Amino acid sequence: MSSAASSPSAAAPSLPGDPPGGRRAVFVWGVGVSVYFVAIIFRTSLGVAGLDAADRFHVNASALSTFSILQLLVYAGMQIPVGLMVDRLGTKKVLTLGAVLFTLGQLGFAFSPSYGTALLSRALLGCGDAMTFISVLRLGTRWFPARRGPFVGQMAGLVGMAGNLVSTLVIARLLHGVGWTAAFAGSALAGVFVLVVMLVFLKDHPEGHEPPPLPASHRGVAYVRGQIAETWREPGSRLGMWVHFTTQFPAMVFLLLWGMPFLVEAQGLSRGTAGEIMTLVVLSNIAVGLVYGQVIARHHAARVPLVLGTVLVTALMWGLTLSWPGAHTPMPVLLALAVVLGACGPASMVGFDFARPANPPARQGTASGIVNMGGFTASMTALFAVGVLLDLTGDNYRVAFCVIFVLQALGVSQILRLRARTVRRERERHVASHVKTVHVPV
């Protein structure tokens, strides 16, 4: 029996120094999550505008994929620096900088006259986007008790992913209603709005729960290197990264760029129907996330089985979709694929549940950065490979999407390698924490 209460990695009980939570915490956390929500809208807006971007800038599949690759390259490369920034500067400063950058990036994309300036705009957007999720995770640990950490993290991911609905339902319609410039410039106003709200209402922590100031010895380059090295040495950090790597990218590749072209060009669907299928991915993400969150809260031993099960079902559905005889895959199969892809996001959040107990509070931002880097590195690799293969094969999506299986195989091999080591370390920490709390009468 492996309930949350009996698992060595179960959520910790509330401690005397824990934040109180409550309505005030929910409000402040909600302000921070709204910034992440808008960042997701901007990040995924290209997913519904891929065909329009190809026509606007007169580029092929490889050049089109470069938009998302560069954006994710910047995002992934920023994860560890952002984690260190959040640990040092706090949430509000980092989120403010992020909101300014991703709003400028979205606005620049709206008015870009050429492919080169559009690339720079997406890079700027990726830099700002990189500062949001880790900041929101840190905000949750500062405002809610430790025992609520896994649930708060899952909810942040679900609320943020809902930004995909705005992309598929609103941005897509705006593009075909008011045009490219008005659609992207108008959406940039959402960034200005959340920036103002955040500056007025967001606070890093509740009163009386200020973190202790960093000693001088914790501010040098050597200390930063030590933070990164110590975090990486924890098998839980590495396992979390590979879980994120293996589970997130199939849905990201679909939603971020190649889903719409695949459904329209390869499957012969209208843009409206393709948008509805992409919306189903997001709705499935939200529903599955609620289920996964409850299961993991009660049974921490279910983490790896849920991850591996999600990877297996995703591989099977992609295999069925790509190998179906005939020109087009039947609609029921495409709908089932969309539902399964919705499980990828919640499964990737499990990676943070491995890294969180493996690292002390002072390294939580750094650990989250390492985990988050995994999925976006895989997504960037897959986006590039699909684009190259499409150009080499004359837009053969069946061949191009086979890169998914290669990356999944790599990730699963690493998960299996690190699984036992992580569980052993969790048990050691669990035993050590119980030893420290035993008081022997004299």
pLDDT-wise least confident of 198-202, 363-367, 370-374: 363-367
Residue percentage of the chain with pLDDT more than 90: 49
**pLDDT confidence band for 22 (50 / 70 / 90):** confident
Whole-angstrom Cα distance, residue 233 to residue 61? 39
**pLDDT score for 434:** 56
**pLDDT score for 157:** 80
**pLDDT score for 155:** 83
Angle at 84 between CA 82 and CA 88, to 5 degrees: 115
Whole-angstrom Cα distance, residue 177 to residue 173? 6
Whole-angstrom Cα distance, residue 285 to residue 272? 20
Coil vs helix vs strand at 356: coil
**pLDDT score for 416:** 96
Under 8 Å CB-to-CB from 398, ≥6 apart: which residues? 266, 322, 323
Stronger pLDDT, 205 or 274, i.e. the higher one: 274
On the question of pLDDT at 284 being above 70, the answer is yes
Closest by alpha carbon to 344, among 374, 309, 386? 309
**pLDDT score for 361:** 75
Whole-angstrom Cα distance, residue 355 to residue 403? 27
Distance between alpha carbon 335 and the CA centroid of its chain, in Å?
A: 23
pLDDT-wise least confident of 10-24, 75-89, 130-144: 10-24
**pLDDT score for 4:** 34
Instruction: List the alpha helices (DSSP H) in 299-363.
Output: 303-323, 331-341, 344-355
What's the alpha-carbon Rg for the chain, to the nearest Å? Answer: 22
383: tokens are 């986006």
Whole-angstrom Cα distance, residue 249 to residue 71? 14
Angle at 166 between CA 120 and CA 205, to 5 degrees: 80
Residue percentage of the chain with pLDDT more than 70: 89
Q: Do the Cβ atoms of 171 and 45 come closer than 8 Å? A: yes
**pLDDT score for 6:** 35
Closest by alpha carbon to 32, among 174, 180, 153, 173? 153
On the question of pLDDT at 364 being above 70, the answer is yes
Instruction: List the alpha helices (DSSP H) in 205-258.
Output: 221-233, 235-253
Per residue, the 3-state secondary structure of 15-82, as one string, reads CCCCCCCCHHHHHHHHHHHHHHHHHHHHHHHHHHCHHHHHHHHCCCHHHHHHHHHHHHHHHHHHHHHH
Whole-angstrom Cα distance, residue 253 to residue 251? 6
212: tokens are 């202790």
Closest by alpha carbon to 281, among 357, 168, 379, 364? 168
Its pTM stands at 0.80
Stronger pLDDT, 10 or 118, i.e. the higher one: 118
**pLDDT score for 439:** 43
**pLDDT score for 207:** 75
**pLDDT score for 307:** 97
Whole-angstrom Cα distance, residue 382 to residue 273? 25
Q: Do the Cβ atoms of 56 and 180 come closer than 8 Å? A: yes
How confident is the model over 375-426, as pLDDT tens digits? 989 998 999 999 999 999 999 999 999 999 999 999 999 999 999 888 888 7
Whole-angstrom Cα distance, residue 368 to residue 109? 29
CB atoms within 10 A of CB 51: 16
**pLDDT score for 17:** 59
Domains, the chain, in order of start with CATH, read 23-207+223-434 (1.20.1250.20)
**pLDDT confidence band for 266 (50 / 70 / 90):** very high
| Segment (H or E) for 124 | helix 115-129
CB atoms within 10 A of CB 111: 13
How confident is the model over 49-78, as pLDDT tens digits? 887 888 889 888 888 888 888 888 898 889
Average pLDDT, the chain: 86
Whole-angstrom Cα distance, residue 347 to residue 315? 14
Closest by alpha carbon to 9, among 306, 359, 265? 359
Closest by alpha carbon to 379, among 79, 38, 53? 79
On the question of pLDDT at 437 being above 50, the answer is no
407: tokens are 């990356």
**pLDDT confidence band for 262 (50 / 70 / 90):** very high
| For range 25-48, the mean pLDDT | 90
Whole-angstrom Cα distance, residue 314 to residue 408? 10
Coil vs helix vs strand at 7: coil
**pLDDT confidence band for 214 (50 / 70 / 90):** low
**pLDDT score for 213:** 63
Stronger pLDDT, 278 or 152, i.e. the higher one: 278
Closest by alpha carbon to 169, among 65, 249, 282? 282
